[in-house]
């Protein structure tokens, strides 16, 4: 008989106008890694928020049975006292504090005269060693990368004597190398007896790490699949997630690339905004034709996002030099407004921080890039604004009962659709899509890909920055490979492969090493 550390029975949770969870059941065995998968809006994060006490007892119906006892959690502290710790997709770290300070924030190590800093940093070092984080415990969070920040969150969980670790999209912001290191860390914790629940849209990672997989769709449990022998059928998971066969991950497209160039960048150099002597993008040149999707591939820190933001109205960097041409005409885009007026759009990788105003409605977010199109004599026509939002909601199949819904209440995939619709309404000729499918499920990804195909069919030029090589290879006409701020290779998609992209990166690193010798 299975030893269950957690049983969630008939969990039902409603928000105004939406039943987020409908009699969901989940059983987690002690010492296993259990994956929770489903489309955006399926209810995965809501279920974990019920478990952790983020949604307190009484705001839902059903039972949480942990270690054989029925539990009523009213706050995060209630669940953490029993060793249940959740790490959210958006990391809860304070950049201006050190690793040690962040690790015990709200859980301070107290001495006779306040905080015992010696104990704080000694214990921080112990937990950092457990996760393999080779940084000083005094290092500021702002000075380490996303992968190391994720390790800080896990070390923080260990400091709370975690027994059941919940990770919500832990690898969504990580490159492949950092992602594999984190998954291997979970496997090592499993050997030590820890139980983990992982929410992820990356099915290859789920297949690699999970013992069992529970599929949730539209707020209901579909099935739990055994994966102890690591032979899970990805098609079966997708079928459960989306309720239908998805025969191809990438929609078919006729590659009708025009000879006309929509965007050309020549000798583009960008310096770091704070450390102005540091070159982030070094003499970069590239072009994108009308009707073409051009991919930018590279490891984390290659300079792709910085390049995109600097092109979009100098929204990143200092000492920017080089030439920029849109539709054959040289332009000087010294701020974001000039970029928009010139027909350039930038769909940020950080939709919650920089892309959307989460407390505002879908309608407001949809039109904010081009308010002039819904204004009469300088006054916003709310009727027109709502009609526009409804048109794009229907066109992009955004799941929401009303365009008056706050953007922050939507799932990640639907937020991404609102962000795309904002720039589609702006009617840009050139769209830069920075990690457009980050943190969204396979069904929503397919819909985003279809939107991209529609854009290039209209003659738009699209740049796609992605850390997922299969996505680059499946969607693009050409690919530029970046490493350490430089373009190190250009390939037609017919000649490209994951191996060739990685070889180009490694070859460029070897050349740099030889120069320094």
Hey, what's the torsion of the CAs at 120, 126, 129, 131, to 10 degrees? Answer: -80
Handedness of CA 362, 364, 370, 373 (dihedral sign): positive
Query: Over the stretch 80-107, which tens digit does the pLDDT of each residue have?
Result: 999 999 988 777 888 899 999 998 888 8
| Among 263, 364, 242, 367, CA closest to 308 | 263
Measure the CA angle with vertex 401, ends 397 and 402; round to 5°: 95
**The predicted structure's pLDDT at residue 345:** 93
**The predicted structure's pLDDT at residue 177:** 77
SS3 category, 50: helix
**The predicted structure's pLDDT at residue 246:** 58
Q: Are 328 and 261 in contact (CB under 8 A)?
A: yes
Mean pLDDT on 115-124? 91
Q: Are 10 and 63 in contact (CB under 8 A)?
A: yes
All structural domains of the chain:
4-242 (3.40.50.300), 258-343+428-517 (3.40.50.300), 353-427 (no CATH)
Q: Which of 201-215, 323-337, 347-361, 499-513 has the lowest mean pLDDT?
A: 499-513
Beta carbons within 8 Å of 302's beta carbon, 6+ residues apart: 482, 483, 484, 485
**Alpha-helical segments (H) within 159-202:** 176-191
Question: What span, in angstroms and rounded, lies between the C-alpha atoms of 65 and 381?
Answer: 52
Q: Is the pLDDT of residue 237 over 60?
A: yes
Q: Name the more confident of 413 and 463.
A: 463
Question: What span, in angstroms and rounded, lies between the C-alpha atoms of 250 and 493?
Answer: 14
SS3 category, 394: helix
Q: Is the pLDDT of residue 436 over 60?
A: yes
Question: What span, in angstroms and rounded, lies between the C-alpha atoms of 221 and 208?
Answer: 22
Burial 360-374 (b: 16+ CB within 10 A, else e): ebbbbbbbbbbeeeb
Enter the pTM of the model. Answer: 0.67
Q: Name the more confident of 513 and 70.
A: 70
Instruction: List the beta bridge partners of residue 482.
Output: 298, 487
**The predicted structure's pLDDT at residue 511:** 67
Structure confidence at residue 142 as a pLDDT band (50, 70, 90)? confident
Q: Is the pLDDT of residue 480 over 70?
A: yes
Structure confidence at residue 52 as a pLDDT band (50, 70, 90)? very high
**The predicted structure's pLDDT at residue 247:** 60
**Chain mean position to CA 507:** 29
**The predicted structure's pLDDT at residue 515:** 65
Structure confidence at residue 22 as a pLDDT band (50, 70, 90)? very high
Beta carbons within 8 Å of 113's beta carbon, 6+ residues apart: none
**The predicted structure's pLDDT at residue 245:** 59
**The predicted structure's pLDDT at residue 148:** 85
Q: Is the pLDDT of residue 341 over 60?
A: yes
Provide φ and ψ at 104, rounded to 5°.
-115, 20
**What percentage of the chain has pLDDT greater than the value 90?**
53
Question: What span, in angstroms and rounded, lies between the C-alpha atoms of 44 and 311?
Answer: 37
**Chain mean position to CA 363:** 23
**Chain mean position to CA 303:** 18
Q: Name the more confident of 290 and 439.
A: 290
**The predicted structure's pLDDT at residue 354:** 83
Structure confidence at residue 512 as a pLDDT band (50, 70, 90)? low
Structure confidence at residue 477 as a pLDDT band (50, 70, 90)? very high
Q: Is the pLDDT of residue 310 over 90?
A: yes
Structure confidence at residue 513 as a pLDDT band (50, 70, 90)? low
Q: Is the pLDDT of residue 244 over 70?
A: no
Average pLDDT, the chain: 89
**The predicted structure's pLDDT at residue 58:** 93
Q: Are 269 and 281 in contact (CB under 8 A)?
A: yes
Burial 46-63 (b: 16+ CB within 10 A, else e): bbbbbbbbbbeeeebeee
Handedness of CA 268, 271, 277, 278 (dihedral sign): negative
Burial 173-182 (b: 16+ CB within 10 A, else e): bbbbebbebb
Question: What span, in angstroms and rounded, lies between the C-alpha atoms of 262 and 291?
Answer: 9
Structure confidence at residue 446 as a pLDDT band (50, 70, 90)? confident
Question: What span, in angstroms and rounded, lies between the C-alpha atoms of 126 and 490?
Answer: 45
Which H/E stretch holds residue 306? helix 304-311
Candidate ranges 34-38, 231-235, 263-267; pick with highest mean pLDDT: 263-267
Q: What is the DSSP code string of 441-475?
A: -HHHHHHHHHHHHHHHHTT-EEEEE-S-HHHHHHH
Measure the CA angle with vertex 350, ends 345 and 352; round to 5°: 105
| Among 30, 51, 57, 54, CA closest to 163 | 30
Question: What span, in angstroms and rounded, lies between the C-alpha atoms of 95 and 435?
Answer: 23
């Amino acid at each position: 008989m299975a030893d269950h550390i957690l049983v969630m029975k008939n969990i039902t949770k409603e928000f105004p106008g939406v039943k987020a969870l409908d009699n969901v059941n989940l059983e987690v065995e002690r010492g296993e890694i259990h994956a929770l998968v489903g489309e955006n809006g399926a209810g995965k994060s809501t279920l974990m928020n019920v478990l952790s006490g983020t949604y307190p007892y009484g705001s839902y119906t059903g039972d949480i049975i942990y270690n054989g006892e029925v539990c009523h959690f009213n706050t995060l502290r209630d669940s953490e006292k029993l060793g249940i710790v959740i790490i959210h997709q958006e990391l809860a770290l304070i950049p201006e504090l050190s690793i040690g300070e962040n690790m015990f924030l709200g859980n301070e190590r107290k001495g006779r005269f306040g905080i015992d800093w010696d104990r704080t940093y000694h214990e921080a070092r112990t937990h950092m060693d457990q996760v393999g984080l080779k940084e000083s415990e005094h290092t500021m969070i702002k000075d380490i990368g996303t992968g190391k920040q994720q390790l800080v969150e896990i070390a923080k969980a260990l400091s709370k004597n975690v027994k059941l670790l919940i990770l919500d999209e832990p690898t969504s912001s990580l490159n492949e190398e950092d992602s594999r290191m984190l998954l291997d860390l979970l496997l090592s914790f499993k050997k030590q007896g820890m139980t983990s629940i992982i929410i992820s849209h990356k099915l290859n990672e789920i297949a690699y790490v999970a013992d069992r997989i529970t599929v949730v769709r539209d707020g209901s449990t579909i099935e739990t699949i055994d994966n102890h022998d690591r032979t899970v059928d990805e098609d079966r998971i997708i079928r459960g997630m989306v309720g239908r066969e998805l025969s191809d991950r990438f929609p078919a497209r006729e590659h009708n690339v025009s000879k006309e160039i929509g965007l050309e960048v020549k000798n583009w150099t960008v310096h770091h905004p704070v450390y102005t002597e540091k070159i982030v993008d070094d003499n970069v040149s590239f072009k994108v034709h009308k009707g073409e999707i051009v991919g930018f591939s590279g490891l984390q820190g290659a300079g792709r996002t910085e390049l995109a933001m600097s092109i979009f109205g100098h929204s990143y960097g200092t000492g920017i030099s080089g030439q920029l041409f849109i539709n054959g005409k040289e332009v000087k885009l010294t701020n974001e407004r000039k970029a928009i007026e010139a027909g350039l759009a930038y769909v940020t990788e950080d939709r919650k921080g920089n892309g959307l105003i989460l407390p505002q409605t879908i309608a407001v977010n949809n039109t904010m890039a081009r308010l002039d199109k819904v204004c009469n004599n300088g006054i916003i026509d709310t009727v027109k604004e709502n009609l526009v939002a409804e048109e794009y909601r229907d066109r992009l199949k955004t799941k929401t009962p009303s365009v008056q819904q706050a953007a922050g209440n939507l799932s990640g995939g639907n937020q991404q659709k609102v962000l795309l619709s904002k720039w589609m309404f702006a009617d840009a000729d050139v769209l830069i899509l920075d990690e457009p499918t980050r943190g969204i499920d396979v069904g929503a990804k397919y819909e985003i890909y279809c939107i991209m195909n529609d854009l290039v069919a209209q003659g738009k030029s699209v740049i796609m920055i992605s850390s997922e090589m299969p996505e680059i290879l499946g969607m693009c006409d050409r690919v530029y490979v970046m490493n350490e701020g430089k373009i190190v290779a250009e390939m037609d998609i017919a000649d490209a492969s994951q191996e060739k992209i990685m070889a180009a990166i490694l070859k460029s690193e070897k050349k740099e090493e030889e120069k320094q010798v």
